[in-house]
Chains A and B, each alone.
Chain A
Amino acid sequence: MSQFTDFRDPVAARKVLGRIAELAANQPHRKFMEICGGHTHSIYRHGLEELLPENVELVHGPGCPVCVIPMGRIDDAIHIASQPNVIFCCFGDMLRVPGGKSNLLEARAKGADIRIVYSPMDVLSIAEREPNRDVVFLAVGFETTTPSTAVTILEASRRKLENYFVMSNHIRIIPAIKAILDSKDLQLDGFIGPGHVGTVIGNHPYAFVASEYQKPLVTAGFEPLDILESVMRLLEQKSSGRCEVENQYTRAVKDGGNPRAIDVIERVFEIRPHFEWRGLGSIAQSALKLRAEFASFDAELRYQVPGVKIADPKACQCGEVLRGAIRPWECKVFGTACTPETPIGTCMVSSEGACAAYYNYGRYNKAPRIPVRVG
């Protein structure tokens, strides 16, 4: 099976779109939130919004781990990266995330040794190659990336590496979904569930969305057809009066998740009582820190970080965008003061951020619909 053909087959897409149109015709305006930034990116990259009926709206949720990093954390990261003798490693997305005054890209230009890595294991190799330097990994992400960070710590411990440190910004999806469901201005009819996180935690943990909050959720894959099929299934639930948690991404997500991945997370990490999310504020039990047993790898203990909370810029409406209360282009500074070159809010930084995705991919006058070429 080829990912590039089967899941992007225009003929199959046409069928699903036909069914979506049929279902939507008998329904009021529907707002579905895709929680994961990967979905947001795929939706814009393949121009899916334009193919949906006018009364089916996709709202882009907080599932871009880069987008929810508060400015104070970036300042802490810059502080660590600027220490002499530190090699600071992070994913490329993190470089332009705005801190209080500066970002990591500027810190690098001013002389900090900041390196882009593609995998946490690369950081471990750097630590082995440079035994006389402190090598710090800025770990970000939901449960999807947490296991690989956990593995590096177990590995570093096994190899007795004393110069490898992790600044953990790992966050948990379930408290974030709860925070959204509890928000006062919520107007959502259902969720496209985060498939990548599902590969680790499984589909069971989402059950409360339907049982406690009466919203349907369909865990989805990331190919355009996956997303369209999930929208179709949400509409089907709505039309038949059902409210369930379904799994569209069965080729990757098992109901019970990946027990080994869950196990390494639990061995290495424990839950923080509170963690600050950009735009969403402090969310209880929403993030992870290293267990006391692995404290010697904790960059936040190794270095005195300022840990200053910085309020989001007044003009920035990232919070409302992340909660789905407004759409990206309804923000006051969207596309003028806040652009991918000069982001004010984090939603404009990562290509998975709702604002950047709309700015990069959606900013054109819709031409008259061109029929899909078949074959």
Chain B
Amino acid sequence: MKHEDSSRERLHSRIEEWRRRPMRLHDDVITSAHGAGGKASQALLNSIIFPAFEIVGAAMDGAVLKSDPGHDLVVTTDSFVVTPRRFPGGSIAKLAVNGSINDLAVMGATPRWMTVAFVIEEGFEIQELRELVAELARAAVDAGVSIVTGDTKVVGRGAADGIYVTTTGVGTRARSIKIDPANVRSGDSIIISGTLGDHGIAVLQARGELDITSNVTSDCAPLHTLVEALLTSGAETRWMRDPTRGGVASSLNELAMDTELGVRLNETSLPISRSVRGVCELLGLDPLYVANEGKLLAVVSSETAEMALEALKAHPLGRDSAVIGEMTSENPGIVVLETLFGGTRVVDMLVGDPLPRIC
């Protein structure tokens, strides 16, 4: 009997040893097992998620963040459902990181930490997941942001379109920085950091539903260093936005409503690439409403507009920066565009959604 006991003991300890080994991921596609919280979930996390992100709170249910003295924490969250998942100039992964970074940046915050949650449809290719996670990690590292915690859920086939990504960004902001529509005054200058509509048109093209080809590339990029360049330029920055869905027109409409001032834009000064202009003309779209994912829209005092422009143009992401208009006391709450001929028209909020999912 003794012999039997010891062999059973050996067996148990061997099982235990194997049980403690990190789970290996052998599957080609995501199945419901990967979302069940069991061993397959562990395998997915251990072989793809944790190694990519060096997650600090892996064994815990949350991460602890420490702010700096004299700073506030700024938090933002955003979900990404873009289709197609890859497009010229970016992917859902890059977008998810840069999107949250940009929301923090235009709040005047330095992006520091990020959480990532995936909702994955059953049947999603593990290889693609691996690539997207790697891209996401790289985008975070490039921007100096640590991914501190996350979540992965699997839903049944048809319950999601491939993969959805949600990121929550946390940044720190010095208490001295005041970005508030209440600071905006009539006469202030409106600056955009580059060409309009590149992201929206690139995604529209990548969907392959239009028989149009152009070389438009998404402008997807993290804006925090560009914002830093502006904030340290000495220019009086009153307000900032990254004009994503709905484009510059929608952001400025919100500004006009918030401030009860008017916005007057000058059509001749709007930076729009030839390709974007061409595609927009063909499809009857207005570049002012087309999404951007790497543009800074800022309001600065008119006296310091030149200073701001100089600082932005010196940055690689701001070379095509331009003053595109000004705040006015006329037509409060309304955005008016002075057309090429000196005619004028209202630039209103968009009704409905003429474009497919773009972010």
Contacts and interface: CB of A to CB of B under 8 A. Distances in A.
A361 B337 CA distance: 9
B334 A363 contact: yes
B351 A373 contact: no
B345 interface: yes
Contacts of B348: 359-361, 363
Given A46-B343, A364-B331, 12 more contacts: A8-B341, A14-B341, A45-B286, A47-B345, A48-B341, A48-B343, A51-B342, A118-B210, A224-B339, A224-B341, A361-B346, A373-B268
Contacts, number: 86
A370 interface: yes
13 contacts: A8-B341, A10-B340, A17-B341, A45-B286, A46-B343, A50-B343, A92-B354, A360-B348, A361-B346, A367-B330, A367-B331, A370-B342, A371-B342
Interface of A: 3-4, 8, 10, 13-14, 17, 44-51, 92, 95-96, 105, 118-119, 122, 224, 340-341, 351, 359-367, 369-373
Given A4-B277, A367-B330, A96 B352 contact: yes
B338 A361 contact: no
Nearest to A3: B281
A122 B209 contact: yes
A361 to B, nearest CB: 4
B168 to A, nearest CB: 29
A118 B209 contact: yes
A46 B346 CA distance: 10
B340 A8 contact: yes
B interface, over-half SS: loop
Nearest to B211: A119
Given A45-B345, A360-B346, A362-B346, A370 B338 contact: yes
Nearest to A125: B209
For chain B, the bracket of interface size reads: 20 to 34
A44 B345 contact: yes
A361 B268 contact: no
Given A92-B354, A361-B346, A364-B334, A10 B210 contact: no
Given A96-B352, A364-B336, A369 B342 contact: yes
Given A96-B352, A122-B209, A341-B351, A10 B342 contact: yes
B344 interface: yes
A240 to B, nearest CB: 26
Contacts of B347: 361
A37 to B, nearest CB: 11
A280 B343 CA distance: 32
B345 A362 contact: yes
Contacts of A367: 330-331, 336, 344
A48 B339 CA distance: 9
Contacts of B342: 10, 47, 51, 369-373
A74 B210 CA distance: 26
Interface string B24-39: 0000000000000000
Interface string B198-210: 0000000000011
B263 to A, nearest CB: 11
Contacts of B283: 118
A224 B345 CA distance: 14
Interface string B321-342: 0000000001100101111111
Contacts of A46: 339-341, 343, 345
A350 to B, nearest CB: 10
A105 B354 CA distance: 12
Contacts of A118: 209-210, 283
| 6 cross-chain pairs, A with B, having the tightest CB-CB distances, nearest first | A47-B343, A372-B342, A361-B345, A340-B351, A47-B339, A47-B345
Contacts of A3: 281
B92 to A, nearest CB: 22
Contacts of A362: 345-346
Contacts of B284: 351
Nearest to B331: A364
Contacts of A340: 351
Contact of B330 (A44, A45, A365): A365
A370 B347 CA distance: 18
Nearest to A46: B339
Nearest to B268: A373
A158 B243 CA distance: 48
Given A3-B281, A118-B210, A340-B351, A364 B340 contact: no
A363 B346 contact: yes
Contacts of B351: 340-341
